[in-house]
Structure 1
Amino acid sequence: MDGFYIVVTMGLGTPINLPAFRVGIETRLARYQRFRSIQVTRDDNKPRWVHARTLNLDDHIVVVPSRPEVASSDPDKVVEDYVAALSTSPMDRSRPLWEFHLLDFPTSDATSTVVIRVHHSLADGMSLLTLLMASTRSAADPSRLPAMPAQPARSGNIYVRPRPLRSAGSLAFLAWLWSFFVLAWHTVVDVTLFVATIAFLRDPHTLFKRAEVVRGYAGELPRPKRFVNRSLSLGDVKIIKDAMNCTVNDVLVGITSAALSRYYFRRSGDTNTRKICLRSILLVNIRPTTSQQAYVDMIQSGNSSAVKWGNQLGYIILPFHIAIYEDPLEYVRRAKTIVDRKKSSLEVVFTHMLGEVIIKTLGVKAAGVIFHRMISHTSISFSNMIGPAEQVEFYGHPVVSIAPTVYGPPEALTVHYQSYSNTIKVILAVDEEHFPDRGQLLDDFTESLRIIKDSASRNQL
């Protein structure tokens, strides 16, 4: 995936202490082999990681000059413009592909801002976040690592261990047999649809999808992206979760469906509230659910070689329904039904294995073309990541907010959720020409959460 980058925007609670940042990066981040390496292609056209001869931190730390006019203008817009410009700015492939951009002026919710840009070949979102968390300390007690929330238990047929057959009665045996039949059937259906999506199956053109078909991948001109975010109450999300007896992810899928529906019917003026099905690519971390805290501990203890860097992801094609429901909770009910159905499938395992096979047999460029084609045949990308459960400090700077996102995929809209302490950020990466009213789209997420939460609260009375 030649042009696939992760961008993490961190709001800080103090001005930037440049010497402290340099020391922190040099002693904690830059010591890892993956962040001191570059990819080179030999005669067999297979890229390999090669240790860089030198690592000059000045090549990786970009200090953005503070201009007096920023304070009197719109500093939030200045940060947004700066990060958007990164989406069309190439990185120098002769050195390790990571950068820290330091913007030392106040915005509406932070005293200063750090923007981290990393090529996706170095790490996926989960492993990068783990590395960043290993570089932080608890704000309450800087001598210890931050507390990470307990990872949710994974449920569904894919995670259930079958009981020994010799101890099972006839009914239990039939139930066991049926569960495997359902798992196999759902897997066949999902894998068939996944392959069909790569080959020919496309989403309809709506407000959320570019009208044009991108013909190439490696030679494609970069499309400018805008990255905007909004803080939501994690407590409100949990109120809905408890009232609906579902997971936080179910709630977030439901809120996303509700927000996209509000946006669609307002902007299109369509009075036909029929259900429209859009599909998203959901990125799934296939590491064990306990790995994030374990990896943080490994990095801290100096055993970072045991951490699985790179990309350990599978993909799921997740439908989103664009519709108007009289009961706002219907968005969450339908989301839970869809997500539960996907848990009874080996689609994520298959897609991960398929990606590995394609890379090993056809090469990275061919894998990039196939991935690009799959993305361009769907409408949006979606992910949800869990962050620290308490306030943290990053190289001595209190962290106010964390907003990761990506650019490079051809979709016009990418939706990420990132939890941190008692908040959850919704981060949108949008084609700036396709979504000139991206602020209104963010408002739809806020309003959808409020309406669904109020409805859930009334149902509990």
Structure 2
Amino acid sequence: MTKEEVEEEPLSPMARLFQSPGIDNCIVTMIGFKAKINPDIILDELKQNVSKHPRFCSKLSDDGARWMKTKVNVEDHVFVPDIDLHEINKDGDGFVDDYVSRLTLSTLEKSRPLWDIHILNVKTSKAEAVSVMRCHHSLGDGMSLMSLLVACTRKTSDLKEFPTIPTIKRREKTMSHRLGNKGWFLLSINAVYSAVKLIWNTIVDLLLVLAISFLKDTETPISEGAGFRNNAKRLYHQTVSLDDIKFIKNAMNMTINDVLLGVTQAALSRYLNQRYGNKDVEAGTTISDLNNLPGRIRIRAGIMVNLRQEIGIQPVADMLAKGSKCRWGNYDSTVFVPFTISLETNPLVPLLKAKSIMDRKKHSLCAAMNYSVIEFILNNFGPKVFKRTCSNTTAILSNIVGPVEEVSLHGNHIAYIALSTYGHSQALSIHFISYAEEMGITITVDPAVIPDPHNICDEMEESLKAMKDTLSTKSDRFFGMHG
């Protein structure tokens, strides 16, 4: 150990999992800017601030079990490629897509801190320049990294002001203090019933997690040939209205996560129907012009769940403080959710099914218990069990709360934020991130399996629109009757 290196704390269970052989997982964040980026400003800011964050100035120990504080040479982590703007002027989007795709083939150098930044002063359809940041998932989860990004930004309306940090807490059930004897008796019965239901749901969920290690999802056009981690990934980014999602959420009395899951189920059903229909045409037969889906499709997705009590963006200083309830790192877990793949005449049915599934998952301790189980399995069986779990499921989903207003990073106005991961074996991952008045959707695919991720995004937009229109019509009828 050199004088510039100091041994620090051990890796958390999730951090160990993310950097274990065969699961090596990386987060890639694309930030679009409304003007060209001056790389010198980025370098200066990093030189002044990177040492303030322990994870970004630490590297892995030789055995990969602990973080080692080390001196950071910022120039080794910032890349500004030479770009012939005349050659790519007509297709800036294609250049950025190809550049990011090539990055997914490479791993971060473990002899130094596990992050880098690529500055692409290329005009695309959505931005004048793009910054691509990679960091190993063992450094922190999506909430940690988003909190760090927000801490580095300022309001575009006032560059001296920090962004608004909303307070988001988990829903807590309230009870009336004006309960009679009968009310307290019913409350006691409900409490017992709720406890029994919680234990039952937890047992069932843990058995389902165990079953995933042995039971593989149905091979479909979004999973066939998946599992080859050496394939380059392709990222496709699109935005939809956050207000539309909130309208559906309020009208259906559900959460934003419920809405996103319902939209995803509906979109994948429509997309798979299209893919199966194309296969039937190629084979010279057609099952139906309307429904080409085979029966009994088993598709499961791993949904990332934040285990912290405080679930929104947090001040980074609070996250780094000892004993913090919203601590920095990978304090998240995964719940596995079965997707209902079917074409519905009523656009609201996928929402109701999603809410039913998530309500049951929320009334279970499986996500929290998985966090402890991971450490036990890593210590006794190694990461192969988790690798098999990933290869037996079809997709990964996550939703991260982003800035509630437009912000600037080092004086550069941010146009959009897109976040995803690579290194897992699934051919499909879908990451949602809110920014100001928009919800960003980033779909990451193995192009050998899913060559047209934009079609999945299009189906999401269509499904969202159909849901909103149906609810708007019902609302208009209600007010028309009571006007």
TM-score, normalization by structure 2? 0.85
Match of 1:238 among 236, 241, 246: 246
Instruction: Quote how far apart the aligned CAs of 1:36 are.
Output: 0.8
Aligned to 1:217: none
The CA RMSD over aligned residues, in Å, is 2.5
Question: Cα distance, 1:162 vs. partner?
Answer: 13
Residue 153 of structure 1 pairs with residue 167 of structure 2: no
- Spell out the pairing of 1:301-380 with structure 2 (5 A cutoff): 308-359=327-378, 361-362=379-380, 366-367=382-383, 369-380=384-395
Alignment of 1:20-419 (within 5 A): 20-42=41-63, 47-52=65-70, 54-151=71-168, 153-154=170-171, 169-198=184-213, 200-211=214-225, 214=227, 222-269=230-277, 271-273=291-293, 274=295, 276-289=297-310, 292-293=313-314, 295-296=315-316, 298=318, 308-359=327-378, 361-362=379-380, 366-367=382-383, 369-419=384-434
2:148 is paired with a residue whose SS is helix
Contact kept in structure 2, 1:70 and 1:78, CA below 8 Å: no
Deviates more, 1:30-39 or 1:306-315: 306-315
Aligned letter for 1:259?
A: A
Deviation at 1:65, TM superposition (A): 1.8
User: Residues 170-213 of structure 1: CA distance to partner in whole angstroms, max 9, x if unpaired?
Assistant: 32222111110000001100001111212x0221111121346x
Percentage identity across aligned positions?
34
Name the SS for the 2:37 alignment partner.
Answer: coil
Q: Contact 2:321–2:327 at 8 Å: present in 1 too?
A: no
- d(CA) in 2 for partners of 1:305, 1:188: 30
- 1: CA distance between counterparts of 2:128 and 2:169? 33
Which secondary structure state, in structure 2, belongs to the residue aligned with residue 322 of structure 1? coil
The 2-side partners of 1:331 and 1:351 are apart by: 27
2:162 partner letter = L
- C-alpha distance in 1, partners of 2:230/2:104? 7
Change in CA separation of 1:86 and 1:57 when aligned onto 2, cut-off 3 Å: same
Compute the displacement of 1:71 (Å). Answer: 4.5
Distance change (3 Å), C-alpha of 1:138 and 1:437: same
Change (3 A) 1:63 1:444: same
Distance 2:442 2:95 in 1: 17
C-alpha separation between the residues in 2 aligned to 1:276 and 1:99? 40
Per the TM alignment, residue 384 of structure 1 is displaced from its structure 2 partner at its CA by: 0.6
Corresponding residue of 2:450: 435
Matched residue, 2:284: none
Deviation per CA, 1:64-95: give whole Å up to 9, x if none: 22312344331001000000001101222111
1:26 CA displacement: 2.3
Kept in 1, the 8 Å contact 2:35–2:412? The answer is yes
Larger Rg: 2
In 1, Cα distance between the equivalents of 2:195 and 2:80? Answer: 56
Cα distance, 1:106 vs. partner? 1.1
Q: In the alignment, is the contact (CA less than 8 A) between 2:405 and 2:436 conserved in 1?
A: yes
Q: Do the aligned residues in 2 keep the contact of 1:239 with 1:457 (CA within 8 Å)?
A: no
Match of 2:30? 9
Q: CA–CA distance in 2 between the matches of 1:392 and 1:30?
A: 24
Pairwise CA distance, 1:154: 3.1
Contact 1:9 1:114 in 2 (8 A): yes
- Deviation larger for 138-147 or 4-13: 138-147
Question: Is the Cα contact below 8 Å between 2:26 and 2:137 reproduced in 1?
Answer: yes
CA displacement, residues 241-275 of structure 1 (integer Å, 9 cap, x when unaligned):
12212111111111101110110001111635556
Opposite residue 384 of structure 1, the aligned amino acid is: N
2: CA distance, partners of 1:171 / 1:161: 12
The number of aligned residues is 439
Point out the more displaced range, 232-241 or 400-409.
Answer: 232-241
Separation in 2, partners of 1:247, 1:277: 25
Quick check: 1:210–1:411 contact (8 Å CA) kept in 2?
no
What secondary structure sits across from 1:94 in the alignment?
coil
**Partner amino acid, structure 1, of 2:333:** G
Question: CA–CA distance in 2 between the matches of 1:442 and 1:236?
Answer: 16
Q: TM-score, normalised by structure 1?
A: 0.89
SS of corresponding position for 2:473: helix
Partners of 1:128 and 1:405 in 2: how far apart?
Answer: 12
Counterpart-to-counterpart distance in 2, 1:154 and 1:209: 35
Q: Deviations over 1:401-432 (max 9, x none)?
A: 00010001100000110000000011111001
Using the TM superposition, give the Cα deviation of residue 357 of structure 1 relative to its aligned residue in structure 2, in angstroms.
2.8
Tell me the alpha carbon deviations over residues 104-124 of structure 1, each in whole angstroms, 9 at most, x when there is no partner: 121111010000000111111
